[in-house]
A and B are shown apart, each in its own frame.
Chain A
Amino acid sequence: MAGALAGWLTVGLLVAAVVIAVHHSRRWRAGAAAEVDLVAGLKALPKRYLVDVHDVVGRKPFNARFHALTAGGFLASLVLLVLAVVPWFRGPLLWGLAALALALMLAGALMVGWRRHVVKPTELSGGRFARLPVSLIAYAAGLLVVALDRVAGGALPHGVTLVLAGVGLFGGADLLVGVGRGPLKHALHGALYLVAHPRPGRFSGRDRGGERKRDSALAPLNLDDAKLGVEVPLDFAWNRLLGFEACVQCGRCESVCPAYAAGLPLNPKALIQDLVGAMEGGAADYAGHGHPGRSVAGARGPHLPVVGEGAAIHPNTLWACTTCRACVDACPMMIEHVDVIVDLRRFETLEKASAPGKAPGVLEELRIADNPGGFPAVRRIDWAFDLALPLAREREKFDVLLWLGDAAFDLRGQRSLRAFIRLLKKAGVDFAVLGEDELDCGDLARRLGDEATFQDLARRNIARLEGLSFRRIVTMDPHALHVIRNEYPAFGGAFEVVHHTALLLELVEGGRLTLGSLSGTLTYHDPCYLGRYNGVTEAPRRLLDMLGMERREMEFSGLASRCCGGGGGTSVTDVAGDRRIPDVRMEQARETGAACIAVACPNCTVMLEGVVGPRPEVKEIAELVLEATE
């Protein structure tokens, strides 16, 4: 009796959940059109879930375990309970299996309860999430006893099993009805989002180096569109809105965000929830940490501007992001925060020209003088007069084009470039530079949302590069590397680009550079645009290990490295926080006790060297390698 009833009620709850989900779907389906291959997405769903999602979830093994137990047990029990509707199935086997599933789920639910109410990680949300373990345990425990009673052929009095079935289904109702606004929302929307993901490329497996392929290039914006960028929530493509719905408020993004850690007014988790709230309109239904130093959001709704002083997202929140992708990498729901931030910035910059701080001036210089400082083109090369650098335009054919980048305008950057150029000469590399013909790669403009200036710079750089005959490009600047390697192809430029650390490694391994041994300790700071954007974390470490110094790792390193605070135009928008981002990073370097922090990006060099002492000495890898050859 209680068994059949539980079956029918489960069916009823599932129907209710479907109705709620369909009703709710009107919200995200109202988003802008997107090109999505649903068939391919459906086919890829199991792999995307089992490999890609679990890759992220599994970084916290305890969580992976309770998730597998709870979700697996719950789904299996739902199927079995639905089967219990059919009298023919109702037998000890079915109830035995159901008991097994529910027992596994109960174990998982107890682990969830332990984490939420005993361990209490601060990044978790409260509200409806706080009662999640209660519902899970009620459902699993109540129905477990019912199932066991069925197996035993009805040992308990009818009244007791009815009450227990009621408790279980009450818990189940709280869970299933939550597909609209509760914790279970992530399961349905997460699955749909995996099918319709806006970046299917990120799931395409491993590339040659054994490193995970990184799909990190921003998508080009069509500058002829009637509206540029995203103004109101409904300007987002529907599958982006679906992604926001998938957020499970786990706070993993919050705990890795460098801006949040430094007390800048940005919390990626709250940002996604701001957007969920904006789609919904009305008051916030969010019980987690907000953006540091900012009170609750202002007016919001699906047709109201997202960014503004009194809108869903304050401009300072938008401009505090360093585009480091730490949140993207940490998100188990595969949400693409950086795309979202850049879409919003595009509207702010292209339609309103409202980027703060020094950004407007820098963008204007980039547009008219092709470099952010508004310097004469010759300044990119005049510091190297004594090095007599071979100029690409005077060479018919050469092996390596050295992309100087923005560092060439900066005294500190010039020091690193000099070290690298001396190494190139020592190793007899056949190289040349564009010199005056090199334009800014466009990275800064693009991250600040100025797609027009970026595309102009990209097209003109590509035209200049295509007129030359060389094999590959080498650069010390991971931002230039990323842009030329991953973002120029969309504009017709296909070039092989290597980071200078990779080239140096090649030269040392090929015997063209011989290294002596250095002493002392060092720690390596992974640049975001080399690590997370391009998956390169091992080559620089192998190179460093050849120097004979003791290498120590910081708290956040490799793909989980923490940003220096120099990316995404934050050094020109200059949003203030409690601390500076590089100070937080330097703290982690200090904790290793290493005497030297090795860096592989001119932005990192500038940011980290700006931290007041005492601190480890900041050295570009090329500078260390040069030391070891002398």
Chain B
Amino acid sequence: MIRVAALLSIGRHPASGRARRAGLDARGLELALRMPNAEVRAFHAGDPHAASLRDYLGMGLETLNVLNVAPGCDPVPALVEALRGVGPDLIICGMRAEAGEGSGMVPYLIAEALGHAVVCDAAAIECASGTARVVQGLPRGRRREVVVTLPAVVLVNSAAPAARAPAFARARRGRIVPHPVEAREDAFLAACEMRPWRARPKRMAVPSGGSAQERMKALTEAKAGEGRLLVNPVPEEAARAVRDYLVEKRFLRGAGDGDGRG
């Protein structure tokens, strides 16, 4: 039996701006729910009446513990306190919240306070006695496996399997258990100005000269010719080319790249 704590925040739909379950935290809960032989407890720090918390219950949680942290207060001390009381082997959450400060610091601060290791970018977790094998999902589809000694904090990214859909009836049946907590006002947050995020226009390197049509073409044309063209290569040559490519793209570890990061 392994004890898992899932930390769940409230997200924000990018288009409608409405509250929803946070995508990455939901993926974290999904990983937790899929773990065989795990006892999963879920925590949220915030308003116990927030409707979107029901989405997590809809995924199959029976109870969700809500540390009643007032808006504008720092959730970290309350979470640390609650987790210390439970003493989970594994703490799972998303890499970064969708709403609020979204600094991505919460799990690191918690790990620091509890003295746990942190593994980020998790796509899959497998627990053995006293350790967890975590597959990290890195950019461009690369995967790396790390083994961490428990207890640990594992941060999930979007390479983890998609979260199951919440079921209306389960969401209705699940229980939210509020816990009153003392929380300090977050002075830093209070001093910040909040504005909706908006994509900044990217500056394009506009080619000069030539006709308008040529400039347009230069901007929009797909760049070709990055690879090498081998005509009727001998198999060894072809294999070497493929291998070199994989090494170059760091899918494979090449000679002299043995630092374990490849």
Contact = CB atoms under 8 A, between A and B. Distances in A.
A376 interface: yes
Contacts, number: 49
A360 B164 CA distance: 8
A624 interface: no
Nearest to A451: B168
B231 interface: no
A626 B101 CA distance: 53
A228 B13 CA distance: 28
Contact of B165 (A228, A363, A369, A376): A363
A374 B18 CA distance: 11
Contacts of B15: 369, 374-377
B58 A353 contact: yes
A377 B16 contact: yes
A350 interface: yes
Contacts of B167: 349-353
A612 B169 CA distance: 42
B16 A360 contact: no
B18 A353 contact: no
Nearest to A367: B20
A352 to B, nearest CB: 6
B165 A360 contact: yes
Interface SS majority for chain B: loop
Nearest to B15: A376
A450 B13 contact: no
A376 B58 contact: no
Contacts of A363: 165
Contacts of B20: 364, 368
Interface string B17-55: 010100000000000000000000000000000000000
Interface string A372-384: 0011110000000
A452 interface: yes
B174 interface: no
Contacts of A377: 15-16
A154 to B, nearest CB: 72
Nearest to A362: B165
B165 A368 contact: no
Nearest to B14: A374
**Interface size class of chain A, counting residues whose CB lies under 8 Å from the partner chain:** 20 to 34
Contact of A350 (B14, B16, B168): B168
Contact of B16 (A355, A368, A452): A368
Interface in B44-78: 58
B161 interface: no
B170 A369 contact: no
B13 A368 contact: yes
Nearest to B162: A361
B18 A364 contact: no
B166 interface: yes
Contacts of B166: 353, 364
Interface in A433-480: 450, 452
A235 to B, nearest CB: 13
Nearest to B16: A369
A245 to B, nearest CB: 29
Given A351-B170, A353-B58, A364 B16 contact: no
Contacts of A374: 13-16
A210 to B, nearest CB: 42
Contacts of A350: 167-169
A109 B233 CA distance: 78
A377 B18 CA distance: 12
Given A353-B164, A368-B13, A374-B13, A228 B169 contact: yes
A228 B173 CA distance: 12
A150 B165 CA distance: 74
A322 B64 CA distance: 38
A409 to B, nearest CB: 12
Contacts of A351: 167-170
Contacts of B164: 353, 360
B165 A364 contact: yes
B170 A376 contact: no
B194 to A, nearest CB: 20
A52 interface: no
A376 B18 CA distance: 11
Nearest to A377: B16
A612 to B, nearest CB: 26
Nearest to A452: B168
Interface string B185-223: 000000000000000000000000000000000000000
Contacts of A223: 168
A82 B164 CA distance: 64
A382 to B, nearest CB: 13
Contacts of B170: 351, 353
A329 interface: no
Nearest to B167: A353
Contact of A370 (B16, B58, B169): B16
B13 A369 contact: yes
A376 B170 CA distance: 29
21 contacts: A223-B168, A228-B168, A351-B170, A352-B167, A353-B165, A353-B168, A353-B170, A355-B165, A361-B165, A363-B165, A364-B20, A364-B166, A368-B20, A369-B13, A370-B16, A374-B15, A374-B16, A376-B15, A376-B16, A377-B15, A377-B16
Interface of A: 223, 227-228, 349-353, 355, 360-361, 363-364, 368-370, 374-377, 450, 452
Given A223-B168, A228-B169, A368-B20, 10 more contacts: A349-B168, A351-B167, A352-B167, A353-B58, A353-B166, A361-B165, A364-B165, A364-B166, A369-B18, A370-B16
Sorted nearest first, the 7 A-B pairs with minimum C-beta distance are: A360-B165, A353-B167, A353-B165, A369-B16, A376-B15, A351-B169, A350-B168
